[in-house]
Amino acid sequence: MVLLENESFLSELTKLFQKYRTSGSVYITMKRYDGKTKPKPRPEKLTANPIQPPAEYKCLLRAHAGNNKISTVINAKDVNRFQLAYANLLKGNIDGLKKKDKKKSTAKATQ
List, for residues 38-59, the tens digit of each pLDDT value: 877 777 755 666 667 777 889 9
- Structure confidence at residue 19 (pLDDT): 92
Distant-in-sequence, close-in-space partners of 5: CB < 8 Å, separation ≥ 6? 72
- Structure confidence at residue 95 (pLDDT): 80
User: Of 38-42, 46-50, 71-75, 99-103, where does mean pLDDT reach its minimum?
Assistant: 46-50
Boundaries of every domain in the chain = 2-36+55-93
CB count, 10 Å around CB of 75? Answer: 13
Find the Cα–Cα–Cα–Cα dihedral 33, 35, 37, 39, rounded to 10°: -70
The class level of CATH for 2-36+55-93 reads alpha beta
> What is the amino acid identity at position 80?
N
- 3-state secondary structure (DSSP) of residue 41: coil
pLDDT at 21 over 80: yes
pTM of the model: 0.75
- pLDDT tens profile 4-19: 999 999 999 999 999 9
Distant-in-sequence, close-in-space partners of 55: CB < 8 Å, separation ≥ 6? none
- pLDDT tens profile 80-94: 999 999 999 999 988
